[in-house]
Amino acid sequence: MNAALTQDRNRSAAKISDEGAASSAVAWETAQDALARLCSASLTGEAHALSGWQAACPASLAALAVRARMTSPCMRGFERAGLVPPVPVAEAAKAARTRSAIANGRVMALARLAFPVLARAGIAAIAFKGPFQHRLLHGDPFFCRSGDLDLLVARADFEAALAALEHEGFRQRAGTSAWWTGPLGEVHLDHAGGGVIDLHHRLQQPGCPPPHDIGAFLRDPRRELVGQVEVAVPHRPQAVLICALNFTKELVHRHPSARYAYNLAAGLLGMSAEEHRQFAQLVCRQRLSGTVGLAVALCETIFGVSLPFVPPLARRAPPEWAHRSALLAMVFEPHAPATLWPRRRAILWAMCSGSPGAQRAAEFSREAARMIASEALRRSVPVEG
């Protein structure tokens, strides 16, 4: 089913693109700007963000929104600005909504299966992405299509969680190597009845500073009912921090990351004053002020919004490589030949916390070494394709 959904999405994007989308780099840049402006209107409700959006070809805008999995923010932007979306955009959003309902419904069904299994084994776990995150941040579990059920467990419980899930019919994918279970800290488990669990014992990949205390995300989580099953999920400040981790991770690894930036912006704008205070404390305890500072600065540049940021967190200026046109290409079309990328070490340096002296250099050196070791292991062993 996942493969069929992917093929369906690709066919939809190709069809939209063929129906009048310009192929020039200028047309795509215009579509990127239009989609970012629509996201801004979605976040703030301010119509002035859409001045001049008609310059983008509607078919190009629709195709980009499908590829970026951002049809819902796009439609919400039109709605909050009091504008009628072009027909290609509305049709693309309707099709994407159907795919999201199918895929996210399957993810929630997997959660109903997995959480009782792990509870019987005495293993604490949280569902930290997907429809549960969408419901918390956007009020809609089908806001964006989710392919897998992402679960976090403690490193000490990882093998026991694998065994418990395998006993219930899940199977590791062929080719899963020590690179996946070690540096990446995850494994994909396919169920005979369909669906995939992505089981994690890490929240960040090499090349980005990781949280200092993973266990804090597992202690005293929120509970949501899915049918009659309790599903553990992060509290809002934790969920917003996870958004920052996801955004920077996808940016560093040159994957489409605009939807993660949007999640972060929506999360920051949706928190209460008390939640902002808790968020700032959490970021400092997890030693991630550099990651969050960079992520917020990039979000403000992408969407042209001012995001709330409370002490002791300090607002940062965007790095010199993050001028808006280049950044839009990085987050929307990272694989396009025309996209200009900074070196990964430049992004890592911008994420490193502390003063620009020995502390920052030590953090950079430590994380760069982890990234080099991970890459060496990846090259030395066969990995899942």
Helices (H), the chain: 2-18, 25-44, 58-67, 71-80, 87-120, 130-138, 158-167, 178-179, 215-218, 236-252, 258-270, 273-285, 289-303, 324-332, 344-351, 358-380
Q: How far is CA 27 from the centre of its chain?
A: 26
DSSP notation for 97-160: HHHHHHHHHHHHHHHHHHHHHHHHTT--EEE-SHHHHHHHHHS-TTSS---SEEEEE-GGGHHH
Residue 197's φ and ψ, nearest 5 degrees, are: -105, 130
Which residues, 6 or more positions from 99, have their beta carbon under 8 angstroms from its beta carbon? 5, 8, 9, 145
pLDDT confidence tier of residue 370, bands split at 50, 70 and 90: confident
More confident residue, 183 or 165: 165
pLDDT at 258 over 60: yes
Burial (CB count <10 Å: 0-12, 13-18, 19+), residue 134 = buried
Which residues are paired to 153 by β-bridges?
125
Residue 186's φ and ψ, nearest 5 degrees, are: -155, 160
More confident residue, 23 or 132: 132
pLDDT at 53 over 80: no
DSSP 49: G
Give the pLDDT score at 341: 96
- C-beta neighbour count of 155 within 10 angstroms: 12
List the 196-200 sheet strands across, edge first. 125-127, 149-153, 196-200, 186-191, 170-172
Q: Are the CB atoms for 279 and 237 separated by under 8 Å?
A: yes
Give mean pLDDT, residues 204-230: 94
**Helices 258-270 and 236-252, interaxial angle, to 10°?**
160
Which residues, 6 or more positions from 105, have their beta carbon under 8 angstroms from its beta carbon? none
Q: Are the CB atoms for 35 and 63 separated by under 8 Å?
A: no
DSSP notation for 336-362: STT-----HHHHHHHH--S-TTHHHHH
Dmax (CA) for the chain in angstroms is 57
pLDDT at 8 over 60: no
Alpha-carbon distance of 21 to 58, in angstroms, equals 8
pLDDT at 358 over 90: no
Which residues are paired to 152 by β-bridges?
126, 200
Q: Which pLDDT tens digit goes with each residue over 98-144? A: 999 999 999 999 999 999 999 999 999 999 999 999 999 999 999 99
List the structure tokens of 320.
Answer: 């010199």
Give mean pLDDT, residues 23-37: 70
Task: Among 52-61, 235-244, 334-343, name the one with the lowest average pLDDT.
Answer: 52-61
pLDDT confidence tier of residue 382, bands split at 50, 70 and 90: low
pLDDT at 23 over 80: no
- C-beta neighbour count of 221 within 10 angstroms: 20
Give the pLDDT score at 2: 42
Q: Which pLDDT tens digit goes with each residue over 55-85? A: 458 899 999 999 999 999 999 999 998 889 9
Give the pLDDT score at 6: 43
